[in-house]
Structures are given as structure tokens and as C-alpha cells.
Chains A and B, each alone.
Chain A
Amino acid sequence: MPQITKKSDEFDVSRYFLHLLDEDKDLSSGIAAIKTLLWILEKKQFGTIHILDTTMREAVAAMRQTDLSIAAIVSAGELFCRFITLSLDDKHMEECRQIMLNRGKIFLTKLLNSRQVIAQQAQRFISDGCRILTHSRSRVVLKALIAASKNKKSFHVYVTQGGTGNSGEEMVEDLQSAGIDCTLILDSATGYVMESVDFVMVGAEAVVESGGIINRIGSYTMGLCAREMKKPFYVLAESFKFSRLYPLNQRDLPNEYKYSRKHLNDVAKVHPLVDYTPPAYITLLFTDLGILTPSAVSDELIKLYM
């Protein structure tokens, strides 16, 4: 009996999750994950905190089964679980649940606004006539650039194709419809273009404990080039993407992050979806918590988890 419910739960979870994402294209998968978990919190009854915790983790596992960017899901889920189990006094279960629901809603509201905050912070760094290089498609970066163009700034954006898929083209389309000059370039042309740009601005799928980022494949190369050419490398990331991972190198990144689920058996033959950019190559991180240096990320995570 419990098994069946579990299965249906799982099924429900991933379906609800995907449904959320289908509804709103602009929604980050991390936020969708949090919304899903909140939904579970509302719908389900729990006897003890322990069961609640387990259910949450199972739900996160279920969402990970979908083939979407796993990093954001994991970090958002972690954060949510953490905050549920944080400083709860010995209250009645029902009370706890109400508290947690309330918190969850506040949390969600704040996070929904995070992109706006980040875009606002990035305005100061985008000056008239500057040339920006960005990697493939990132909604945060898109929002920041559109906000800048609304502020009557004129600049030029170089967008890389971003590997397989047409995410680069999508980004270019979005930018052009907002009236921003842009050029689509090959991923391999990053080195060529780097000397003519003023700075690099990318999004991130996750920000890891070392202060580095996990982002679409090709970001590491871009970071290397930027450092060599002495150009600033800015990362725009919401705070729920902070993850407790600490990769030492590309190989150290867990396989689930790098490859989609169906290829996990045969990793030697497939190319990875994401790569890890170490903190040495990142100049500044723009988050809704403020403009941070990479060393400040660890500070934030330590404060939260300890």
C-alpha cells in the first residue's frame, strides 16, 4: 500500500513539476521545484518531522528524474528542506506545518523577485557603448539586459550558440525583439571575440561552495579566455542556486549533473551538458543578496548551513 502511494506520489510530483514549467516558460526550474515542494507540504499530512523530511527528499529525487537542469533543482530543494527543519521549536505538528507554509510562501515571494533585484544591480555595470559577451541563453541575463536597454543605454551583445540545441538563437531573438544590437557567434570564436569585448556576463545553473559556478558547457572556456585577456567575468545568479557542492575539477563534478539521465550508463561516448568554472576566473557575482566576490559565497553558505 505505501508503495503504491509512493509511486503515485512520485508520478504526481514530477507531473506537477513539469506542468508548472510548461505553464510558465520564464520560470526557473529551481523555483518550480520549490513550488512543487510547497504544494506537497500543503497537500500531504505528516505525522512527524522525519516523515516530512523523507517525503521532501523523495520528491526532490523524483524531480531529479526529469531530464531538466538538475543543479538548480537540487540546490533549491536542499534550501527548502533546510529551512523547514531549521529552528523549529517543539511545537505541535499542525502548528509547525502552518509556520512552514507561511515561511515557504514568504520565501517564494522573495525568490520570485530575485531576478528583478539582480537586474537592478547589474545596471550600474552596463555603460553606454559597451560590448558584452554572454553565453547561450540565460533568463537572468536577458532580464538585466532588457532593463538596461529600457534605461536608454545602447550597447552591443555577442551571444554564443551554446552547443547543441538552439538556445543561442533563442537568446538572440529575444534580445532583438527588445531592440538590442546583438551578434550570434560560434562557441569556438570566443577567443577571437574576447579582445574586442568589455566584459562577460553569464548566468549560472548553480553556484558552488568554492565560489565557482556550474553553467552550460563552454562557460569554463569563456572564463579562461576572459581571465587571459584581463576582462571582467560577471555571473548573475539567484540566491537559491547556492549549492553545497565542492567540485575540485571537471571530473569531480557528479555525473548526474553533467549528463542527462538516459546517457548515464555510457558517459564515455557523450558530451556533458554543463561544466564547472572555478572561482579564480570569476570577478563578481550579482545575486539578490548583493554584489558578492566569490569568497563571499562560502561565507553565505556557512552561515546558512551551520
Chain B
Amino acid sequence: MTPVLPSSQQWVEKYRPKQVKDVAHQEEVVRVLTNTLETTNCPHMLFYGPPGTGKTTTALAIAHQLYGPGLYKSRVLELNASDDRGINVVRTKIKNFAAVAVGTAHQGGYPCPPYKIIILDEADSMTEDAQASVLVLRNALRRTMETYSKVTRFFFICNYISRIIEPLASRCAKFRFKPLTEEIMTSRILYICNEEGLNLDSEALSTLSSISQGDLRRAITYLQGAARLFGSSITSKDLISVSGVIPDDVVQALFIACRSGDFDMADKEVKNVIAEGYPASQMLNHLYDVVVESDDIPDDQKARICKKFGEADKCLADGADEYLQLLDVASNITRALDNMPQEFPFGS
């Protein structure tokens, strides 16, 4: 394959830390793992935490530091558990990979411990398949682990530890990755801007960290997108348009329309939101923030509104129509704020 042109290389890959010690903001994890690296004694590991906090980066960095570029390919297997090709394929891959004996060759000053590493990314999304096949997979993994544990180390990476079954989790050393703080994000972003010759004003910087919500990968993706579209000088507006985040004034307009108590106004705003192409689920998130944070709404009304948010979110996840759901939500907000009865007065 031809090398990917530099322009199309993802910055997320380009600026991925190559060393465990460079991983941002995860001091405890880094301390323990550095220790591990020195002794080359490595347990099975489970990394969990929100997206974009450096889990995959850490796992890859460990593997690289243990084996170096020469042996990496033969010693490390990266698997996406959400790979749809099925439990059996994953299993066979693991088996085949683990079955090949490891040599003891040392290369280029890397520790090269005598075991292999299997990185299972997104381990928690295995549940997306039917429950039944997941059970099988879990068992398969469990059995696989015991059989090959002498020669193989597993790194599980997931967002929610609660979705990893206990027997599996208990065999691993667990590391929690914290969400990144704004300072850390900012410094990392600034570093990249510097490297890429971008100009970001402070407003754009804070916008970027707020729209990416502690997810560094997302922040970098947005930044790259904006850089491609708008060139080296990037404003806060550019970032918002790239990220697809709904601008505050649109959210406010809808909320004000709901407050007015007029159904038709709310309907008009909802239509506008849909026509502008903003995703309804995101709109729900924003409205939720607005409602929860406003001081002049009594708690019972907030509860009533939030209940509706929950229902609508579920419906949207089921693929329901965005306009109808959003309209329903808006109508509910209007009614709740007006203290209109929840039960319909006419008919039965």
C-alpha cells in the first residue's frame, strides 16, 4: 500500500504518546505501569474510564516499550471486540495467535519478556450482540485466559467496568482513567497547535475543551477537522460548526419558545431545529442542561420534564422520528412550566 499522505494522517495517531510516561493526567496509572515496565512482570490488565482519556494509548505504549518495533507485530495482537465477525473468529484469532511459541530473542535493548500481549479494545461493547452469544464469548474468553495465561497477557479496555463480568475482571489488575481536566486538555491542544502551526484564540480554546467534554481524542479530531476546513486560523465558531454541537442561541430559542406557553411557537422552533439539521438527541442533552441549571424552575417541574427527556431519549435510540419526539418534549416542557395538568381533561 502506498503510504498515506501526510495531510490525511489522523492527528489522533500522529500525536499519540509513544511512551507510558507521556500519557497525560493519569499519574497513578503511569507510576504503577512504569514499575511494571522495569520489572517486565505484567499481570492481565483492565483499563477503564471515559472515552479519550488515554486507555488505548497506554496499552499500545506498554506494548511498544516492551517489544520495540521489531517484535511488536509478532507479539502483540490488537482486537476490537465489537468487530462483527463473530465470537468464533475472535476466539480463533486469539488461539492461533497464542498458540505460536515465543522465542527468547532480545532485540535492540527492549525488555522483550517471554509472553505475548492481546489487546481487546472496547471489551464492554461485546454485549451489543445477543445476550446468548455474549455468554458464550465470556466463557470462551475465560477459558482462553486460563489456558494461555502462561504465555499470554490480556489487556482489556472498556468504558464501563460494570459491563465486564466479575470472573473476568477479578483476574485483572484494574486501572481507572480519569476524565481530563481543562488545563491538561488545553496544554495538549496548544502543543499540537504549535506543531501544526495553528492559531487558536483563548475563546476557541475554551470552546474546544467544553465541546469535547474531557475527551481528548474528540478535541483533536475537531481541531483537525477545523484546520482542514478553515485553515490555520480557527475561531470558536468554526470549531462549533465542525463538531456539530448545537450553538447556544438555538437551544435558548427553543427553550424560550417553550416558556412562552404557546404551542405553535414551540412547534415552529422545533421545525427550525430539525430543518437546520441538528440531531435531536443532542438537543435533548442541551435542553437537559438548561432545565436542570435554571434556578427559577421548581423541582417538581424539573422532575416532570426530565422524565420526558428520558422517555424521548429512549425513543430516539429506537429510531423514532426526531421531529415528533422533539415536539413532544417541547410540548411537555411547556405544559410543565405552565403547570397544566398531566392528565388530559377530556375524554376518558
Q: Do A and B come from one complex?
A: no
Q: Which residues of B contact A (CB under 8 A)?
A: none
